[in-house]
């Protein structure tokens, strides 16, 4: 793996160490009460992690599932020419008016021509679409030859696979959703079978290795320290231990 490429946003090199894990998990703990801290921390971390594989300065970048603008702020500050597509107007409007350069559209049928972007990025979206590998193919399609595809998602069999219904999703997604509604008095935001689907780590690895138009550069557990990356090599164990899978590909 090449050294991180410094960006104007920060002179500190991104490292997958224990300190980073602690910062991220503290932010995860306040997702509902302090979304600015949570999403801002995740966006800044994503800049550092993606910079391990691509130079953001001057890159034309498409974020599929960009949300309300936290990633736009972080990637533009790092020098990228940033555009986003999201299928949920509510998500795009989470901080007011959607940020400039965002479009409402489906990740499974991107309204973008072939080979148009230098970097195609998607963070924690694949588990929310009914055909995740169709969406993954779309990310590859819109990326130029030599460009970078970075996608991450939460595996169903990890501790957070059921999102707010976890860990009861291990007993079934519909059952977990019903339990959540009884306890909370309202349905979960992520509705199993509608906006949350079971997706496996093994499925992502199979798709990436078989991709005809891109080469797999890296596969790793997104939030782990580097010394724990080895969990991905153990079938079965990786479904539970990976938690969130990153796939990085280079377009042929």
208-249: per-residue pLDDT in tens?
Answer: 999 999 999 999 999 999 999 999 999 999 999 999 999 999
Q: What is the pLDDT of residues 95-127, one digit of tens each?
A: 667 777 888 899 999 999 999 999 999 999 999
Phi, psi of 212 (to 5 degrees): -80, -20
Contact call for residues 192 and 165 (beta carbons, < 8 A):
yes
* Sheet order of strands, 102-104 included: 102-104, 81-86, 60-64, 117-123, 143-154, 244-251, 214-221
- DSSP state for residue 171 in the 8-state scheme: G
Total-model pTM: 0.91
Give me the DSSP letters along 65-129.
T-TTTHHHHHHHHTT-EEEEEES-HHHHTTTSSPPTTEEE--TTS-SS-TT-EEEEEEES-GGGS
% of the chain at pLDDT higher than 90: 80
């Amino acid at each position: 793996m090449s050294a991180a490429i410094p960006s104007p946003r920060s002179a500190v090199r991104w490292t997958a160490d224990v300190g980073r894990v602690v910062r991220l998990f503290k932010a995860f703990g306040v997702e509902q009460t302090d979304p600015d801290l949570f999403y801002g921390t995740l966006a800044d971390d994503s800049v550092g992690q993606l910079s391990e594989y691509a130079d953001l300065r001057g890159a034309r970048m498409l974020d599929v599932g960009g949300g309300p603008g936290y990633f736009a702020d972080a990637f533009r500050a790092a020098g990228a020419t940033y555009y986003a597509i999201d299928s949920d107007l509510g998500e795009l409007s989470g901080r007011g008016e959607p940020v400039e350069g965002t479009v409402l559209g489906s990740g499974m049928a991107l309204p973008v021509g072939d080979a148009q972007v230098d970097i195609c990025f998607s963070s924690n979206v694949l588990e929310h679409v009914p055909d995740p590998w169709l969406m993954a193919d779309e990310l590859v399609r819109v990326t130029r030859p030599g460009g970078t595809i970075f996608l991450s998602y939460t595996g169903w069999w990890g501790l957070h696979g059921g999102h707010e219904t976890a860990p009861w999703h291990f007993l079934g997604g519909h059952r977990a959703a019903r339990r959540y509604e009884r306890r909370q008095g309202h349905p979960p935001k992520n509705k199993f079978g509608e906006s949350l689907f079971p997706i496996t780590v093994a499925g992502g690895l199979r798709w990436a290795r078989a991709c005809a138009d891109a080469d797999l550069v890296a596969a790793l557990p997104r939030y782990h320290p580097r010394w724990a990356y080895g969990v991905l090599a153990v079938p079965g164990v990786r479904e539970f231990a990976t938690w969130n899978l990153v796939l990085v590909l280079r377009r042929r």
